[in-house]
Structure 1
Amino acid sequence: MLLILLGVLILHLIILILLIVSTATWTVGGDVNKDLWYSCQTVNGGYRCQTASNEDWIQAVQALMILSVLFCFFSLIAFLYQLFRLVKGGRFFFTAIFQILASVFVMCGAIIYTVMSPDDGAGSQFGYAYVLAWVTFPLSLISGLIYIVLRKKE
């Protein structure tokens, strides 16, 4: 039982780290690097950065990704709290709800970014953080489902 709890905890920490990385850096290739927060480009040998556009869709993606990180963190705290306070035989429903909500938020943010991101011409592509966001979606969903099935035993 200890190995299962340790495995679930490690999976949860990996998901949280991937969510933080994917929220911080959504790079797009070429001479222009764009993420959720900044748009940087090489100009005359220098590197110039501006804040991301004020369009509604990018702000929605920013908010959804921040919410996914927060809900994943809250579910980790809830898991640790329930691990010590939950009655024998109880299930981790509260933790599961938070983790599934984090999964839904990251999925919605990635879908909005996929649909609304402008095509900047040749050489434009999605970066590694975009892929990390799509990887964390099924991982956090699976983690949430594991929390639903998991029971506390002594």
Structure 2
Amino acid sequence: MLLRQALRNNYALRAQLPRSFEATSLRSSPAPSNQPAWPRFSSTEAPASNEDPEALLLAKVKYGIKEAMKAKDSLTSTVLRSIVSEHQYSAKQKGNQVSKVSKLITKAIKRRQDTAKQFRAAKPPREDLAEQEEKEAAVLETFLPEAK
């Protein structure tokens, strides 16, 4: 009961103080508003629907990394991290022109399929490595956008 009364008095006193004094106070609470005090940014946050499909695909890949890490699926998380890494590398190399994520995924799939063929064509065939490359390609195919 006394605590409630003290809190009411505290809020009433703050309302009477000038704004400049309230801003310098160490224990002042932020003024209530509709917008959050700190904007929240997250790599796994889904972008707005009005953004381009490449940004949506990149967000989907980053969300896939997060889910793979939660599931302790090292294969999926490693493959998806390689895509994000390639995307960041292309952003640094080409300046403002960034490679499309869908093109990076298709190139990575083709690269892994070619590597699997090379492992099978080797003199002592390496089926274990070929199967590993095919598993990685299958993971990437799930993130490839469907052709219309």
Bin of the TM-score, shorter chain as denominator length: 0.3 to 0.5
- Which structure exhibits the higher relative contact order, with contacts defined as CA atoms closer than 8 Å and separated by 6 or more residues? 1
TM-score by length of 2: 0.37
TM-score by length of 1: 0.36
Greater C-alpha radius of gyration: 2
